Each structure stands twice: as C-alpha cells, then as structure tokens.
Amino acid sequence: MSAAARNTMLANRRRDTGPELAIRSRLHRAGLRYRVDWSLPFDRRRRADLVFTRVGLYVFIDGCFWHGCPQHFVVPKTRTDFWVGKIEGNRRRDRDTDERLKQLGLTPLRVWEHTDPDTASAVVIAAYRTLERKGATTLGSGRRVSGTTEGA
C-alpha cells in the first residue's frame, strides 16, 4: 500500500464524521437526546452511530464507499477482488445487524452519508416521534434513507 493510500485510510474516522456531526447538530437543536457510537445489544463489537434508547431507534450513517452506496460507490482499480469482497461483507453485516435488531423489537434506520443533513434529521425525527407515540416495544421497519426517498 502506498504512503498516500495508508494516510487516507488512517484519516477515516469511526465516529464524529462530518455528515454525522451535521445530523447530530440538527437533532440536538430539535431537542432530541441520544447516545453516540453505542454498542449493539447482541454484539459489543458492532456499533450504531446514534441510539435513542427510550424508543429503541438505532441510526447508522453509512459511508458511501464502505457500505457500497448504489449511487456513489466505484470499485477501486487495484486489488479489486479484495475490495469487492470487503464491501459485500460489510453489506451482509449491515443486513444481519438490521435483522437482529428487528428480532429484538428494535428499529434500525440507515442513512447514506451523502443524504442532505436536513432531510436525514427530518426522517430520524419522524421515526423517533412515531416510535414515541407507539411505545418503545414496537417492531421497526429497518429503513434506509437516500436523498429524499426511503428504500432498502
């Protein structure tokens, strides 16, 4: 791996990314309080970016490269097999995480990092308010937000 590639990889943060901070700021301004970089109940090594413990809402702000965004992911030209396998593994783990959270009666919500922070925070607030009205034990839908639309 070249020195430039290594430095790029080292600069990738697990938490407090630009998109995450922008969304968190809007949610906090709206009066919502949450846990940051919270481990999942079934696997302490897996973590959600934001967790609203009172209603069981687990928010993941997924990076376009690492989670294979259909809109922005471009397969690297070098070590293609490695990267395709890595991203597919991440996608499988994301699906497994969502399914396991749903089995526990919790709600996973995934947001692409490229989603407008106002749009993303509005969707999170709407999901929070819906769960708040229904009660914290409601089984979630496992939605993913991209732009202004929702889909898996």
Domains of the chain: 16-150 (3.40.960.10)
3-class DSSP state of 15: coil
Predicted pLDDT of residue 15: 75
| Residue (of 119, 141, 118) closest to 130 by Cα position | 141
- Per-residue confidence of the chain (152 residues) as pLDDT tens digits? 677 656 655 556 667 798 999 999 999 999 999 999 999 999 999 999 999 999 999 999 999 999 999 999 999 899 999 999 999 999 999 999 999 999 999 999 999 999 999 999 999 999 999 999 987 544 445 555 544 334 43
Tell me if the pTM is above 0.75.
yes
Which segments of 2-106 does DSSP mark as H helices, in order? 3-11, 18-29, 80-103
Predicted pLDDT of residue 1: 67
Q: Return d(Cα 101, Cα 43) in angstroms, integer.
A: 11
